[in-house]
Each structure stands twice: as structure tokens, then as C-alpha cells.
């Protein structure tokens, strides 16, 4: 059941494909939203719905004790965190729900904790469909108390919520998730391309194998996008590339080799090079079928 956030003021920074519906769900649960984003369009859109714009991340933190970040990449998180630090005070809770590099997450969390505030890394899976429905999968890293404070917010935004471990553990889990997503998109794309090349309708093949050992959310959702050719972005190719580069970096830091990850990254980079970086990552199918 959705938590009631009536009376709470929540800051939200980053109003892209995922951030907008997430902010709306918090507002529907009764929270007063203080918002900031790099692009003015989403701010104007959500201000019309009653949310309160702030001129900077520092102003968001000055007006809200809990601040959620849903930003595009690690560089953006580092830039926003630098601004937030100006206004942080003991008791502040900062929750990063984007996909951020593990080493940077731990470094930023240390600076935040030095101010007496708490940092929780809580990346999500499920894409825009789950963001809109409030059914995101949330994997969180942080202290027990910080996680407990963030839980009412997570209850509004997600359905499956796991406290994985201390700071950075959520990002490690998300990196593992992104490796599985990327490799499975590749498997589905190659399988359906093979069906088509062999003269069989890939939509019928997808229908035939649904429910068997090959079943997955990727076959269900991304497979449907492949057979219909609708690659309106839920998760962009460019974002997938960023996440896989972070996964390679983490693998290097951890001292292991992941050859299939390297090949997957190369394929998505080829897709971007042919001009498809803004499409949904299911468009990997286009490498094999035009």
C-alpha cells in the first residue's frame, strides 16, 4: 500500500524520462515537492501541477530535509552534490536513485556524512513504465537508519525494495542488473533476427517461446518493441552505454574479466555510431535486421 506523505516536503532534482513520473507519484502521495532540473521545460510543466521550482540544488536542500536525485550520469551527480553540500545540515537525507559509479558514490557519501547528513544510493529498475505505475524495483545501499528514513519515499515509488548493504551496495546491484539487461536484450535481438532471417515471423516465434525457459521481462517488453519496430525510448541506448562502461570500470576495480559484457558494450556503441543512440535500447535489434 502506498505510503502517505502528507505534510512532508521532498526535494527532487532531475526531471527526465524517469524523474517526472516519480515526482508526480510523490505529489499524489501528499508530499510538497521542491524541484530543480537542468532543462526548464519539465520545471514549467510540473510547476503548473503545483510543484515549487528552486533555482539551484543548494536551494532545494535549503527548503527540503529529504532530497531525491534522478540524474543522467555520475558527472551530473558529482556536480549537483557539490552544490548540495553548501546547504546540507545535520539530519538531511540525500537519496540518489540514478545509476552512479560505485567509487564516486562512496566518495560523495563520505563528504555528505561529514556534514552530519545521510546518503542512500537507491538505483532503480523497471524503466518509465514502472516509474509511472509506482512499481519500480529499488536496490538500496546505506546505513540502517538512513534506509529506514528513506523507506516511506520508496514505498510510493516502488514495489520491490531491497536494502542490499552499506553505501555503494545499491549501485553494485544496479550494475549487475544492467549487465543482465544488456546481455538479455542482445540474446532476444539475435534470436528474433535469426527467426526472421530463416523465414519465420519473429512475432510468432516470440509468442511460441513465451512462458518457457526463455521467458523474461526483456522477451515480453523489449521483444514486443523489436517485432513492432517501436523504439520510443523507455531506456535509451546512450544510457545503456554509460551503464555498461561503469560496469566495465567496476569489473576492472574488482579484478575480474567479463568478456560478454565487453562484447555487449561494443554492440551498443556500434548502434549509437549508426545514429540510434536516442532510441530505446531494444533497438539493438536494428544491428541485425533493418
- Hey, which residues are catalytic here? 174
Other beta carbons within 10 angstroms of residue 144's beta carbon come to 9
User: Are the CB atoms for 33 and 52 separated by under 8 Å?
Assistant: yes
Cell numbers standing for residue 254: 574488482
> With b meaning 16 or more CB within 10 Å and e meaning fewer, what string describes 69-103?
bbbbbbebbeebbebbbebbeeebbbbbbbbbbbe
> With b meaning 16 or more CB within 10 Å and e meaning fewer, what string describes 199-221?
eeebbebbeebeeeebebebbeb
Distance of CA 213 to the CA centre of its chain: 27
Report the distance separating Cα 148 and Cα 153, nearest Å: 10
Residue positions counted in the chain: 290
> With b meaning 16 or more CB within 10 Å and e meaning fewer, what string describes 30-65?
ebbbbbbbeeeebbeebeeeebebbeebbbbbbebe
| Beta partners for residue 162, in sequence order | 139
Q: What angle do CA 190, 236, 44 make, to 5 degrees?
A: 160
User: Are the CB atoms for 227 and 247 separated by under 8 Å?
Assistant: no
Amino acid at each position: 500500500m502506498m505510503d502517505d506523505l502528507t505534510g512532508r516536503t521532498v526535494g527532487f532534482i532531475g526531471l527526465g524520462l524517469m524523474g517526472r513520473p516519480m515526482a508526480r507519484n510523490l505529489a499524489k502521495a501528499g508530499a510538497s515537492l521542491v524541484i530543480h532540473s537542468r532543462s526548464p521545460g519539465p520545471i514549467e510543466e510540473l510547476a503548473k501541477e503545483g510543484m515549487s521550482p528552486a533555482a539551484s540544488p543548494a536551494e532545494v536542500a535549503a527548503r527540503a530535509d529529504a532530497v531525491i536525485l534522478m540524474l543522467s550520469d555520475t558527472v551530473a551527480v558529482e556536480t549537483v552534490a557539490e552544490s548540495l553540500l553548501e546547504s546540507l545540515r545535520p539530519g538531511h537525507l540525500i537519496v540518489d536513485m540514478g545509476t552512479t559509479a560505485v567509487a564516486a558514490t562512496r566518495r560523495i557519501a563520505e563528504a555528505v556524512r561529514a556534514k552530519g547528513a545521510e546518503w542512500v544510493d537507491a538505483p532503480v529498475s523497471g524503466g518509465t513504465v514502472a516509474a509511472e505505475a509506482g512499481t519500480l524495483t529499488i536496490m538500496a545501499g546505506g546505513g540502517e537508519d538512513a534506509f529506514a528514513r528513506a523507506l516511506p519515499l520508496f514505498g510510493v515509488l516502488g514495489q520491490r525494495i531491497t536494502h542490499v548493504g552499506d553505501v555503494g551496495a545499491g549501485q553494485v546491484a544496479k550494475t549487475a542488473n544492467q549487465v543482465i539487461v544488456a546481455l538479455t536484450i542482445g540474446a532476444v535481438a539475435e534470436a528474433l533476427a535469426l527467426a526472421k532471417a530463416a523465414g519465420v515471423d519473429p512475432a510468432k516465434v516470440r509468442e511460441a517461446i513465451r512462458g518457457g525457459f526463455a521467458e523474461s521481462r526483456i522477451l515480453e517488453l523489449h521483444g514486443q518493441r523489436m517485432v513492432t519496430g517501436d523504439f520510443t525510448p523507455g531506456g535509451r541506448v546512450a544510457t545503456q552505454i554509460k551503464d555498461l562502461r561503469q560496469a566495465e570500470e567496476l569489473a576492472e576495480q574488482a579484478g575480474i574479466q567479463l568478456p560478454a559484457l565487453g562484447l555487449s558494450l561494443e554492440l551498443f556503441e556500434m548502434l549509437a555510431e549508426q545514429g540510434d543512440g536516442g532510441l530505446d535500447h531494444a533497438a539493438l535489434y536494428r544491428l541485425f535486421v533493418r
